[in-house]
Amino acid sequence: MNAHLAGQLATLDELHDDLIRLVAAMDDDRLNWRPAIPEANTIAALVRHSIGSLVMWFSRALDEPFERDRDAEFASHDTASELVSALETSRERVRAQFDRLDRVDPGTERRIRRLGAPSEETLTAGWCVAHAVQHVGEHWGQIQLTRDLSAAR
């Protein structure tokens, strides 16, 4: 695997490890607690959304079909064991996608319609990979803040 992809995959492995540790240590009520802030999400929802987002962006980079129900991600109500299992499955799927991504020129252009965009835009496979990693990193921060807000209540 090229060094850039290997670095991105190592980052995602670390994120998966961190998420699994956090989720496994929490009770189900805290995982599904929603802060009293407009449009805030539960930890369970943010984990499910992160998993769905990774699949989608890497599938886009690969020009492969994918199925995703984004609304269901945000409505999810899960146990710690369900989330740990989903994260372990996500890690395996991401690794398989990265094996295929190693055969794609990162400069390959893809036509993609982003959420809420009026039309498609041209994005590279490399941009899709970088965006996916950054996006999950943002949600990892939200998850930690939500954990801290839950503990403080």
Distance CA 57, CA 135 (A): 10
Give the E-state strand segments of the chain in sequence order.
Answer: 109-112, 121-124
CB atoms within 10 A of CB 121: 11
Is residue 153 very low, low, confident or very high in pLDDT (cuts 50, 70, 90)?
confident
Q: What pTM value is reported for the model?
A: 0.95
Separation of first and last alpha carbons in the chain: 45
Q: What is the pLDDT of residues 63-121, one digit of tens each?
A: 999 999 999 999 999 999 999 999 999 999 999 999 999 999 999 999 999 988 999 99
* 8 Å CB contact between 41 and 31: no
Residue 99: its pLDDT value, please?
Answer: 97
What residue ranges in 8-126 does DSSP mark as E strands? 109-112, 121-124
Does residue 30 carry a pLDDT above 90? yes
List all residues 6 or more positions away from 132 whose beta carbon is below 8 Å from its beta carbon.
53, 54, 57, 58, 61
In three state form, how does the secondary structure of 139-152 look? Answer: HHHHHHHHHHHHHH
In whole angstroms, give the CA distance from residue 63 to residue 41. 30
137 touches 16 (CB < 8 A): no
